[in-house]
């Protein structure tokens, strides 16, 4: 039996490699281009003359680091191509002519750029979901819906690229979906199902009619099974479980009391989930209390990890005599000063622009370019928009 399972795993790994090795090749070429330019002073000097935007050194530990790097290269496409066809690139001779030729060929190869575009297109739904989940905002009750939207978005891009109809099979999509499903099975918990079940918007006709075949959480077998598992863990007494199940039935069916109110049904689709429970949940107090707890939860520990990163920056090898209380106070002050500074005009322009980009990982940035060593977070769309707007304005 073990040998059969091992053989299946080998076959699955071979299929994944056959379908996805080109992505690894594109990433390797992109990494080579970035390293060749940044590790060679003369080439870096040429690049800075042609581009208003810096290359990014994104740590592999960052979420979607490959996607972030390819997005940056895509923005730099025109500048890179202008650089490698310039006279300075051809005139400068060094001991790395073969590497320089390889960089030039890739940058001028439109087929290679098409592959970059394809990677960015089919990973965009994945990137968007990671961005939503990689915040300290309440999103636990949105994960299930985001998962369905993400998978469908990936499928639409791949099927459009391959020219397939919705009912046809795509080997590449099946491999990608298999990878995503494997990751989902490791990261999902019954709490995701319970939080999904307590979102009032998912019981409205507007939401159910958005996608053909969509059903309410109470009618989904998988979600209902995991919801009951949560109730069994949270409520040890059979009497408590009977009461919470009764309250959930009243809520999901909208069959009694305040849930029959026309404003209650209207606001289910429009009002924030927590606010809706505060307004209309008094009839089911146990379920209301549970909803408060779950609908305010983030779905990722990334916000805590960023706090640990700030702590690491403050309590470094050169400051290891700080008392825990002193270090905690400095972390508190540092985070609040960062948040306050982002509201100031100096943060968007001038010499202190984006001062905190990459600040958590480097004791001394020295003369490093403002975005060369950046570690952008996926939960900062305003910052990313600011950076991209600057690039577009420079190109105009």
Q: Could you tell me the pLDDT band of residue 13, with boundaries at 50, 70 and 90? A: low
Tokens read off for 193: 């199902």
How many whole angstroms separate alpha carbon 118 and alpha carbon 85?
25
Report, as an integer, the average pLDDT of 194-198.
94
Please report the DSSP string for 322-357 in residue order. Answer: --HHHHHHHHHHHHHHHHHHTTSGGGTSSTTTTTTT
Reported as a single tens digit per residue, the pLDDT across 304-323 is: 666 777 777 777 777 777 88
Q: In a 3-state reduction of DSSP, which class is residue 195?
A: helix
Instruction: Map out the domains of the chain as residue ranges.
Output: 2-133+138-155, 191-294, 302-395
In this prediction, residue 8 carries a pLDDT of 40
Query: Phi and psi at residue 284, in whole multiples of 5°?
Result: -125, 75
| Cβ atoms within 10 Å, residue 228 | 16
How many whole angstroms separate alpha carbon 361 and alpha carbon 306?
11
Please report the DSSP string for 245-265 in residue order. Answer: HHHHHHHHHT-SGGGG-HHHH
Please report the DSSP string for 96-116 in residue order. Answer: -HHHHHHHHHHHH-HHHHHHH
In this prediction, residue 44 carries a pLDDT of 87
Return the exposure string of 343-366: e unless at least 16 CB atoms fall within 10 Å of the residue's CB, then b: eeeebeeeeeebbbbbbbeeeeee
Whether residue 320 contacts residue 166, with contact meaning beta carbons closer than 8 Å, is answered with no
Mean pLDDT of the chain: 80
Of the two residues 302 and 343, the one the predictor is more confident about is 343
How many whole angstroms separate alpha carbon 242 and alpha carbon 244?
6
Q: Which of 360, 263, 303, 291 is nearest to 133 (CA)?
A: 303
How many whole angstroms separate alpha carbon 177 and alpha carbon 179?
5
Reported as a single tens digit per residue, the pLDDT across 20-51 is: 889 989 999 999 999 898 888 888 888 988 98
- Compute the half-sphere exposure of residue 43: CA atoms within 13 Å on the CB side of its CA: 23
Reported as a single tens digit per residue, the pLDDT across 217-229 is: 999 999 999 999 9
How many whole angstroms separate alpha carbon 242 and alpha carbon 196?
20
Q: Could you tell me the pLDDT band of residue 277, with boundaries at 50, 70 and 90? A: very high
The DSSP output letter for 53 is: S
**Helix axes 97-108 and 77-84, enclosed angle (nearest 10):** 130
In this prediction, residue 9 carries a pLDDT of 46
In this prediction, residue 2 carries a pLDDT of 36
Find all residues with CB under 8 Å of 201, minimum gap 6, and list them: 207, 268, 269, 273
Reported as a single tens digit per residue, the pLDDT across 228-238 is: 999 999 999 99
Of the ranges 77-91, 101-115, 364-378, which is most confident? Answer: 101-115
Whether residue 36 contacts residue 43, with contact meaning beta carbons closer than 8 Å, is answered with yes
Q: In a 3-state reduction of DSSP, which class is residue 295?
A: coil
How many whole angstroms separate alpha carbon 197 and alpha carbon 220?
10
Q: Cα dist. 96→34, 82, 163, 191, 306 in Å?
A: 15, 20, 42, 55, 39
Q: Which of 278, 277, 328 is nearest to 307 (CA)?
A: 328
In this prediction, residue 325 carries a pLDDT of 87
Q: In a 3-state reduction of DSSP, which class is residue 284?
A: coil
Q: Dihedral (C-alpha) 233, 234, 238, 243: value to the nearest 10 degrees?
A: -140
């Amino acid at each position: 039996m073990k040998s059969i399972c091992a053989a299946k795993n080998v076959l699955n790994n071979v299929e994944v490699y056959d379908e996805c090795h080109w992505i690894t090749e594109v990433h390797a070429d992109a990494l080579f281009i970035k390293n060749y330019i940044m590790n060679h002073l003369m080439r870096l000097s040429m690049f800075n003359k042609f581009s208003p935007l810096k290359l990014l050194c994104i740590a592999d530990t960052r979420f979607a680091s490959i996607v972030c790097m390819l997005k940056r290269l895509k923005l730099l496409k025109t500048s890179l191509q202008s650089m490698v066809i310039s006279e300075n690139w051809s005139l400068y001779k060094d001991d790395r002519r073969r590497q320089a030729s390889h960089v030039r060929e890739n940058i001028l190869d439109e087929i290679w750029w098409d592959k970059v575009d394809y990677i960015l297109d089919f990973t965009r739904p994945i990137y968007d979901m990671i961005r939503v989940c990689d915040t300290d905002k309440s999103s636990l009750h949105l994960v299930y819906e985001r998962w369905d939207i993400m998978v469908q978005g990936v499928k639409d891009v791949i099927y459009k690229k391959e020219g397939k109809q919705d009912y046809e099979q795509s080997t590449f999509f099946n491999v990608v979906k298999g990878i995503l499903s494997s990751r989902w099975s490791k990261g999902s918990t019954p709490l995701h199902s319970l939080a999904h079940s307590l979102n009032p918007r998912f019981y409205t006709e507007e939401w159910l009619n958005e996608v053909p075949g969509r059903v309410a959480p109470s009618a989904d077998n998988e979600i209902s099974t995991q919801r009951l598992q949560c109730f069994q863990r949270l409520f040890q007494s059979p009497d408590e479980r009977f009461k919470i199940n009764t309250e959930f039935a009243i809520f999901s069916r909208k069959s009694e009391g305040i849930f029959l109110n026309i404003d209650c049904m209207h606001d289910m689709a429009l009002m924030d989930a927590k606010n809706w429970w505060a307004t209309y949940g008094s009839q089911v107090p146990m379920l209301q209390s549970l909803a408060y707890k779950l609908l305010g939860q983030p779905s990722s520990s990334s916000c805590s990890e960023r706090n640990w990163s700030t702590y690491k920056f403050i309590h470094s090898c050169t400051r290891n005599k700080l008392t825990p209380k002193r270090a905690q106070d400095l972390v508190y002050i540092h985070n609040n000063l960062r948040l306050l500074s982002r509201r100031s005009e100096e943060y968007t322009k001038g010499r202190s622009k984006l001062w905190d980009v990459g600040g958590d990982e480097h004791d001394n940035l020295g003369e490093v370019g403002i975005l060369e060593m950046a570690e952008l977070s996926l939960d900062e769309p305003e910052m990313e928009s600011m950076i991209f707007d600057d690039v577009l304005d420079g190109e105009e």
